[in-house]
Amino acid sequence: MWSNFFLQQEEEGRMGVASGSGASGMGGRGGKRRPPRMSDSQEGKIKLAFFVAILGVTLTVLGVGTEFWAELAQPKHYGNNRTCEAAHYGLWKSCTRTLWVSDIDPERESCGPAELPGESNCTFFKFYTSGENAVIFKKTTDKSLSIAAAMLALFSLFLMVMGSVCISMALSKGVPFFLKPASFCFLLSGILVLLSIIIFHQSVLALLASDHTIPLHYELSWSVACVGSAGAILIVGGMLFLLLSFPFSTLEKCLPHRGSDT
């Protein structure tokens, strides 16, 4: 009697376990699918593209933080035969330098370049705080254009940070979902950086046109070269992230399959 009772309990337990496993299997099939995880080769390509984007971010920070966007130079013998004045400025401040004529290249007609040793006087622009325009060699800056160029550069840096956060999350979670937002951030940041250079150049032309009493020679300096290179690199990095976000290889899709009869 007791032996039959224990055998019946064991059979009921086995049936319960089988029904539970079947229910869990149905629940697993009916549940939400997990997003596909990236492969090791795709992760390596993302890291390589991220390195390219970080190079663009570094060049942008270097260019935005320095004041060698534009150089203004008087004629070499404008004041006297011993010294001359040159100025260089960026998005945030300007510097006026007094250079020795003997240090300047004899074939150069204007004073400079600004990297030569000499007495320097630097001031931050006041149109960010009090709204006053700056005066450089009796020429007045265009406040609206200068502020627009600076704001575009800052917003592009914000987008670079957001794109870097998206790539970091994609690599840490192993999910390529964050690649498309990152590609959008880097593409837009590169475009905004190039727009910032264009608007800054217009502000330089407006500065020169404000007063024609003092002849000046101007040129865009190495900070603009850094920012321009950074914009191109960021656009390339954004396009790479966009290509890597596709679930298929575009090259394999466009090329005909090998071994097919058609």
pLDDT per position as a tens digit, 13-63 = 454 444 444 444 444 444 455 555 667 788 888 999 999 999 999 999 999
Of 48-52, 102-106, 248-252, the range with the highest mean pLDDT is: 48-52
| Percent over 70 (pLDDT), the chain | 79
pLDDT of residue 151: 96
| Whole-number Å distance between alpha carbons of 164 and 186 | 9
- Tokens 């920012």 label which residue? 227
Please give the C-alpha separations between residue 179 and each of 40, 42, 44, 46, 157, in angstroms, as whole numbers: 16, 12, 14, 9, 18
| Whole-number Å distance between alpha carbons of 103 and 112 | 9
Q: Is residue 13 part of a domain?
A: no
The residues, any chain, with a CB within 8 Å of residue 100's CB and separated by 6 or more, are 82, 83, 116, 118
Average pLDDT, integer, range 206-210: 91
pLDDT of residue 251: 46
DSSP class of 222: H
Instruction: Judge contact between 200 and 149, C-beta under 8 A.
Output: yes
Q: Is residue 15 part of a domain?
A: no
The number of folded domains in the chain is 1
Q: pTM of whole model > 0.95? A: no
Q: Is residue 61 part of a domain?
A: yes
Q: Average per-residue pLDDT in the chain?
A: 82
pLDDT of residue 252: 54
Q: Is residue 259 part of a domain?
A: no
| Whole-number Å distance between alpha carbons of 237 and 46 | 10
Q: Is residue 254 part of a domain?
A: no
Q: Is residue 16 part of a domain?
A: no
Q: Which amino acid is at 141?
A: T
Structure confidence at residue 90 as a pLDDT band (50, 70, 90): very high
Please give the C-alpha separations between residue 81 and each of 106, 137, 258, in angstroms, as whole numbers: 13, 19, 77
pLDDT digits (tens, 9 = 90+) for 138-160: 899 999 999 999 999 999 999 99
Q: Is residue 9 part of a domain?
A: no
Buried b (16+ CB within 10 A) or exposed e, 145-162: bbbbbbebbeebbebbeb
DSSP class of 118: E
Residue 202: which CATH number? 1.20.140.150
Residue range of the domain that includes 207: 40-246
Q: Is the pLDDT of residue 109 over 70?
A: yes
Q: Is residue 216 part of a domain?
A: yes
Enumerate the β-bridge partners of residue 85: 98
Q: Which amino acid is at 114?
A: A
| Whole-number Å distance between alpha carbons of 90 and 226 | 13
